[in-house]
Amino acid sequence: MSGRVPVRSRSAVVVGGGLAGLTAALRLSEAGLRVTLLETRPRLGGLAFSFRRGELTVDNGQHVFLRCCTAYRGLIERLGAGGQVAIQPRLDVPVLSVEHGRHRLGRLRRAALPVPLHLAASLATYPHLSALGRLRVVRGALALQRLDLADPALDGTSFGDWLRAHGQNAETIDALWDLVGIATLNARADQVSLALAAMVFKTGLLSDPGASDIGFAAVPLGAVHHDAALAELARAEVKVLLRAKAVELKTITTEGGPQHVVRLESGELLTADVVVLAGAQDAAAALLPADAIDGQHRLAELGTAPILNVHVVYDRQVLRRPFFAALGSPVQWVFDRTAHSGLAQSRPGAQYLALSQSAVTDEIELPVAELRARYLPELERLLPAARGAEVLDFFVTRERTATFDPAPGTAALRPHARTKVPGLLLAGSWTATGWPATMEGAVRSGHAAADAALAQTGARVPVDRGDGRWPR
């Protein structure tokens, strides 16, 4: 006899109901643990959620994923929500600029050809780059392909410095590298670790022809990350406590091994064999026992970066595309949210646009009136149909700590799932997933934490298929 407690008698508490916590809770439950999931907010989903504003259902921000985000797609299938998301048949990004009153529309789209030829035709006709600029981009892409993502030295270099050292200039950085990088990394090239940038571009654009195809939720995010998740957690017999804040974590020694005691703000105590801290980096740091991880005193150095979302409702249609990216404008990415929000039913003919603005530290605290004065004229400049339209509503949502700061040197600050305390694990997009702060990274961290916990308890870890998606 091994003397191990049967897995079915073991318990787990997962602190945090974002995508990392949802993943960890479901995986632990599937392995036979009794799981309690705690979430401070009144809803699940973390920073990818919806709320009501009058007759509108509003996503706090526009969250997209790529076909290469296999872990996130696996979670969506696990939640039974595969029919609530859609992925482009082929990458197709309209890119709009206005110079001297003249509109130029380019497209970044792929053909049914192997890498890197899948983007060649699109690049050859991309109007936002000169002929020399296109050759520079090819040179940069070929150099990126040669990088070894396992090389730790990459994290000490900024992406901007590397780009300039490999023939890139302001034209190519603005028109391509930052166009993609700001949206995926939440920082400009000069502020981004080469390791993270190379991972994004090699995985998304230079691995498989279809890797970069863009996916969206076809319904409000809350319908997937809260409604579908809550139903699936119930089926998995996970106990979910909303509006439940963990304020203290202690570990005690018993004859059967270490036990963790989580104290809630209400005073309730929860005892568990396994605890997964799956909240934001500051929340996890506040609960970690002293010296639980190497370099714990440096966690505060892992900074944060904001994302601003600007929401505009017009009395008529002003955009005839699902989305576009803008160049030479403070506007970055614009998405049509009319159908998703319910506006099409409540006010036929009106249109709701959402602007996703990343790496905007200088704007995140600006008053709404100032943001309105900044962005409405820009939308009119980019979209002539907006010039005669009435603005029915204008509001903003601010995620001040939307992501960790992906600066050079970040890798050394991101902890792994295992801590020095048996049965205490970390999860979250800010942990050492190798990915930037994305929904994909969050889900992968949930898998890593659950698998590490199961290995420590002696439970059978479900076989991973090797692509990061939910094991079958």
Condensed to tens digits (0 to 9), the pLDDT of residues 175-208 reads 999 999 999 999 999 999 999 999 999 999 999 9
Q: What is the mean pLDDT of residues 219-245?
A: 98
Condensed to tens digits (0 to 9), the pLDDT of residues 86-127 reads 999 999 999 999 998 899 999 999 999 998 889 999 999 999
Residue 353 · residue 336 · CB < 8 Å:
yes
Residue 218 · residue 435 · CB < 8 Å:
no
What is the C-alpha R_g of the chain?
A: 23
Residue 251 pLDDT exceeds 70: yes
Token pair belonging to 275: 């605890």
Strand partners, 314: 351, 391
Condensed to tens digits (0 to 9), the pLDDT of residues 281-321 reads 999 999 999 999 999 999 999 999 999 999 999 999 999 99
Residue 307 CB contacts under 8 Å (≥ 6 apart), including other chains: 61, 186, 356, 357, 358, 360, 399, 402, 403
pLDDT of residue 52: 96
Q: What is the mean pLDDT of residues 160-178?
A: 98
Q: Which pLDDT band holds residue 255 (cuts at 50, 70, 90)?
A: confident
pLDDT of residue 468: 52
Residue ranges per domain, the chain? 7-48+220-302+408-457, 50-87+303-404, 110-212
- CATH fold, domain 7-48+220-302+408-457, is FAD/NAD(P)-binding domain (3.50.50)
Condensed to tens digits (0 to 9), the pLDDT of residues 445-455 reads 999 999 999 99
Q: Report the SS3 class of residue 50.
A: strand
Residue 77 · residue 465 · CB < 8 Å:
no
Q: Which pLDDT band holds residue 254 (cuts at 50, 70, 90)?
A: confident
Residue 24 · residue 44 · CB < 8 Å:
no
pLDDT of residue 5: 42
Q: Report the SS3 class of residue 258.
A: strand
DSSP code, position 401 = E
Strand partners, 357: 308
Q: Which pLDDT band holds residue 368 (cuts at 50, 70, 90)?
A: very high
Query: Which CATH number does 50-87+303-404 carry?
Result: 3.90.660.10
Residue 150 burial (10 A CB sphere; 0-12, 13-18, 19+): exposed
